[in-house]
């Protein structure tokens, strides 16, 4: 490990880091001892911008777990004919790399959708920490379990309307910004790729939602006026957790 400026900076306040971090839903959040311990193993944060080389690529040895601190990271695979298949969008607080833990090599590549920051937890240190803190290990399993449940739900053979509805609901929950404005960081092409829909289908379906008065669309983003109607469509996918973010205090 070389000692460049970025590393030095990152290590000046190693334990204060996660405790001061504004990302509430981060995996690092937990009992204070766990959070500080997690902080202590972090390598310097990385900044990633769209167009930059991938954070990691398919087949790379998995040597770190990543958490998103800001922005949006997408993971994807490339099939034999060059087509890109987006496997997930990772927003602040999300872990990246959970689907590679058993294989030891990355099952996807990762790039930034918008300028982003990711925290890097070296895997060897993570494993040591998990041995010392069983409750942290349990939380990691639970995170993986949650991802699994979501992936299984998205697998279903659902209509374009249902898929897009589920996507909007899911994003609204995770991007909740204090108002009902939903600013999606990724282009419709990526949404379509992720949902296995053509870009045109995403656009048309969204327009349908607008024409039904469920969604308002302007330069700044989306407004989900018909949250309940959209959630009803999405219910088979996201489950019966149909309350909007601003009502999820409990």
Residues binding DNA (CB under 7 A): 157, 159-161, 187-189, 192, 196-201, 203-204, 206-207, 217, 219
Strand, coil or helix: 229: helix
Q: What is the DSSP letter of 53?
A: P
Name the one range near a second copy by CB under 8 A: 9-17, 24-32, 132-140, 214-222. Answer: 132-140
**Which residues within the stretch 54-83 sit at the binding site for a second copy (CB under 8 A)?**
77, 79-80
**Which residues within the stretch 134-163 sit at the binding site for a second copy (CB under 8 A)?**
134-135, 137-138, 140-149, 151-152, 154-157
Give the 3-state secondary structure percentages of the chain, helix then strand then coil, rounded to 5: 45, 25, 35
Q: Using CB atoms within 10 A of its CB, is residue 205 exposed (0-12), middle (13-18) or buried (19+)?
A: buried
CA 169-173-179 angle, 5° bins: 105
Distance CA 197, CA 149 (A): 21
Tell the smallest beta-carbon distance from residue 41 to a second copy (Å). 16
**What does the block give as tokens for 247?**
């009502």
Partner whose footprint covers residue 207, from DNA, a second copy, none (CB < 5 to 8 Å by kind) = DNA
Of 17 and 34, nearer to a second copy (C-beta) is 34
List residues binding a second copy (CB under 8 A). Answer: 77, 79-80, 85, 87-88, 98-103, 107, 127, 130-132, 134-135, 137-138, 140-149, 151-152, 154-157, 196-197, 235-236, 239
């Amino acid at each position: 490990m070389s000692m460049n400026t970025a590393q030095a900076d990152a290590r000046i306040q190693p334990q204060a880091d996660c405790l001061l971090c504004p990302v509430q839903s981060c995996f690092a959040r937990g009992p204070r001892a766990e959070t500080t311990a997690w902080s202590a193993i972090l390598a310097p944060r990385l900044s990633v911008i769209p167009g930059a080389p991938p954070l990691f690529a398919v087949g790379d040895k998995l040597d770190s777990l990543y958490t998103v601190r800001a922005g949006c990271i997408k993971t994807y695979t490339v099939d034999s004919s060059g087509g890109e298949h987006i496997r997930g969008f990772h927003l602040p607080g999300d872990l990246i790399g959970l689907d590679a833990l058993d294989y030891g090599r990355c099952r996807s590549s990762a790039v930034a959708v918008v300028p982003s920051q990711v925290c890097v937890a070296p895997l060897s240190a993570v494993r040591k920490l998990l041995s010392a803190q069983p409750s942290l290990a349990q939380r990691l399993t639970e995170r993986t379990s949650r991802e699994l449940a979501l992936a299984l739900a998205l697998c279903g053979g659902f209509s374009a309307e249902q898929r897009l509805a589920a996507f909007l609901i899911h994003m609204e929950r995770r991007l909740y910004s204090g108002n009902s404005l939903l600013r999606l960081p990724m282009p419709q092409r990526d949404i379509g790729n992720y949902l296995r829909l053509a870009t045109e289908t995403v656009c048309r379906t969204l327009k349908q939602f607008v024409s039904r008065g469920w969604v308002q669309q302007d330069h700044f983003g989306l407004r989900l006026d018909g949250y309940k109607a959209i959630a009803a469509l999405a219910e088979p996918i996201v489950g019966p957790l149909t309350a909007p973010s601003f009502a999820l205090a409990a």
